[in-house]
Amino acid sequence: MMTKIEELWRDALQLARDKPIEANGYRLTRMAPEARFDIYAGVDASSFVLLAIGVHVRPPNITIDSSSLDYFRQQRQDGSWLMVLRLRQNGLEAVFGRLCQDLVDAAEGVPDEKALVALFKERLNLWKRLFQHGGSGFLQPHEIKGLVAEMLVLESLIQDVARDLHETVSGWIGPKGADQDFMYSDRALEVKALGPGAESISISSLEQLDCAVPMHLVVIVLRQATPGEPRAIGLNSLVARIEGMIASSPEALNTFKERLLEACYVEHEFYETVLFEAVSRTCYRVGDTFPKITGDMVSPGIVSASYAIAIDAIAAFRDGALA
């Protein structure tokens, strides 16, 4: 289903075919005449789609290191300015459309123009990472698998109701590049997604199992599934399920959406084709005697390391304490 901005792009592209845009120019359509802010959908002479935001003061210069996106500012005849974000790669319009529509929707909740510009900059920083992500805008299958596993754990933590919704969702910090996937004042969780038959768990750093609060390693075995299987799990359906669980908390919902962007996920039909079935979930207590390598165990000259832990070797550390 097309978003509002995608519909405007479609109409603008059709108009451009009938009435071509002059070279190096672009044509804008205000998205909502009744809205507080001037936000436009548009296309340029090369049939690239764009999002433009009108502001009254000179907007910041933002550098985008991406072959898919570019940003520019232009002053209008009345002295006001446009902040323009343009998609320069065909085929990503659906992903870009979801992002732009999300920004437009979020703009309704900001108090003033200064906050609108800050929102634009914040989202653009997240979008840059997404469009640098292999050029396709989509996660790779192994990344989808890892994200599904993390969200299954998040779902369990929400169901546990041990914390309020916002605190529960805010503790999911894996998408921010943290050492552990979940961090709270009294516990930490590291989530690993494995395939059936896996014999070891890969640990990517000296810090991953090194934590000042009690920690658990959660191993979720996921089998590749096909559409139509009754227990098949996809990112789109899992995201919708969690959004329904936290809808009563606007703060939690907003944080959840930010985490998804940080994880480089944007809803798209592509994610209906990469599905998994959750086969098992095992929780391990990571204490002092758990087999691990941390920074204080290696020579000072070693600054990074990765290693693998045999699953058979940690059976004694099983703990049913997850959620």
Please say which residue of 97, 131, 165 terminates a domain. 131
Q: Is residue 168 located within the same domain as residue 275?
A: yes
Q: Is residue 95 located within the same domain as residue 195?
A: no
Report the range of poorest mean pLDDT among 56-65, 73-82, 184-193, 278-287. 56-65
| Domain assignment present for 303 | yes
Question: For the residues 291-319, what does the mean pLDDT come to?
Answer: 94
What is the residue range of 301's domain? 141-317
Q: Is residue 74 located within the same domain as residue 202?
A: no
Question: Above 80 in pLDDT, residue 242?
Answer: yes
Of 222, 240, 236, 241, nearest to 272 by C-alpha is 236
Q: Is residue 125 located within the same domain as residue 192?
A: no
Residue 242 region by backbone torsions, left for phi larger than 0, else alpha for psi between -120 and 50, else beta? alpha
Q: Is residue 182 located within the same domain as residue 102?
A: no
Report the range of poorest mean pLDDT among 151-160, 168-177, 215-224, 262-271. 262-271
Rounded to whole angstroms, how far apart are CA atoms 225 and 212? Answer: 38
Please state, as a whole number, how many other Cβ atoms lie within 10 Å of the Cβ of residue 321.
13
pLDDT digit string, tens, across residues 199-216: 999 999 999 999 999 999
| Domain assignment present for 323 | no
Query: What domain count does the chain have?
Result: 2
Residue 135's pLDDT band, with cuts at 50, 70 and 90, is low
Please say which residue of 100, 131, 162 terminates a domain. 131
| Domain assignment present for 197 | yes
Q: Is residue 41 located within the same domain as residue 145?
A: no
| Domain assignment present for 163 | yes
Q: Is residue 176 located within the same domain as residue 308?
A: yes
Rounded to whole angstroms, how far apart are CA atoms 148 and 115? Answer: 33
Question: Above 50 in pLDDT, residue 323?
Answer: no
Rounded to whole angstroms, how far apart are CA atoms 137 and 90? Answer: 12
pLDDT digit string, tens, across residues 244-266: 999 999 999 989 998 998 898 98
Give the pLDDT confidence score for residue 210 in this predicted structure: 94
Q: Is residue 106 located within the same domain as residue 172?
A: no
Rounded to whole angstroms, how far apart are CA atoms 163 and 196? Answer: 32
Q: In the predicted model, what is the mean pLDDT of the chain? A: 92
pLDDT digit string, tens, across residues 55-103: 999 999 888 877 788 899 999 999 999 999 999 888 888 888 988 998 8
Of 119, 35, 115, 111, nearest to 85 by C-alpha is 119
Question: Above 50 in pLDDT, residue 122?
Answer: yes
Report the range of poorest mean pLDDT among 114-128, 131-145, 245-259, 300-314. 131-145
| Domain assignment present for 136 | no
Question: Above 90 in pLDDT, residue 48?
Answer: yes
Give the pLDDT confidence score for residue 295 in this predicted structure: 92
Question: Above 80 in pLDDT, residue 287?
Answer: yes
Q: Is residue 152 located within the same domain as residue 187?
A: yes
Of 261, 190, 275, 179, nearest to 227 by C-alpha is 275
Could you give the percent of the chain with pLDDT greater than 90?
74
Q: Is residue 120 located within the same domain as residue 35?
A: yes
| Helices and strands, number each (H, E), in the chain | 7, 11
Question: Above 80 in pLDDT, residue 176?
Answer: yes
Using CB atoms within 10 Å of the CB of residue 186, give its burial: 0 to 12 exposed, 13 to 18 middle, 19+ buried: exposed
Rounded to whole angstroms, how far apart are CA atoms 261 and 267? Answer: 10
H/E stretch holding 217 reads strand 215-225
